[in-house]
Amino acid sequence: MENHYPNVLFKHLTQERGYKVAETGPGIYTVSGDILPIQVIDSSKLPLEENLWLKNLSNKLDYKAIGQVSAEAERQGKARGEERKAFGIARNLIKMGLPVEAVVSATELDPEKVKALYNNS
């Protein structure tokens, strides 16, 4: 893993070895032309929120960033759990024969999602 743009390496691979280098994502490069494709990672270009663990495979671990991403993941997990619970309540209300408006009001779910539940039941 490189933590700076690997100019010398890419120059050698393309000019000396005849390989092709393509950036397949921010900071992720695929080198093709050998028996197996190779990936080169420029950790300074990796988006933090998508590659926290990969980005920190260096000797520069950012504990503050880890805390922020962990807190965000916890918040998203709670939100997904609350939505699942609301969907469960919505399904029960639909089984009881309540109209769409009442289910939306009780669960605060998106009306289109509630309508989809009616269509699937």
Instruction: Going residue by residue through the chain, which has 121 residues, state the pLDDT in tens, using 9 for 90 and above.
Output: 444 567 888 888 899 999 999 999 888 899 999 898 898 888 778 777 777 677 666 666 566 666 776 778 888 889 999 999 999 999 999 999 999 999 999 999 999 999 999 888 7
Q: Looking at the domain assignment, is residue 69 inside a domain?
A: no
Which residue in this structure is represented by tokens 């960033």?
Answer: 65
Q: Looking at the domain assignment, is residue 116 inside a domain?
A: yes
User: 39 and 83: one domain?
Assistant: no
User: 6 and 55: one domain?
Assistant: yes
User: 2 and 55: one domain?
Assistant: yes
User: 10 and 31: one domain?
Assistant: yes
Q: Are 104 and 83 in contact (CB under 8 A)?
A: no
pTM over 0.85: no
User: 53 and 85: one domain?
Assistant: no
User: 50 and 14: one domain?
Assistant: yes
Q: Looking at the domain assignment, is residue 68 inside a domain?
A: no
Q: Are 54 and 46 in contact (CB under 8 A)?
A: yes
Please state the φ and ψ torsions of residue 44, each to the nearest 5 degrees. Answer: -70, -20
Domain of 35, in residue numbers? 1-61
Helix (H, G, I), strand (E, B) or coil at 26: coil
User: 49 and 3: one domain?
Assistant: yes
User: 57 and 81: one domain?
Assistant: no
User: 56 and 89: one domain?
Assistant: no
Q: Looking at the domain assignment, is residue 49 inside a domain?
A: yes
Q: Are 91 and 121 in contact (CB under 8 A)?
A: yes
Domain total in the chain: 2
Q: Check residue 68 and give its pLDDT.
A: 73
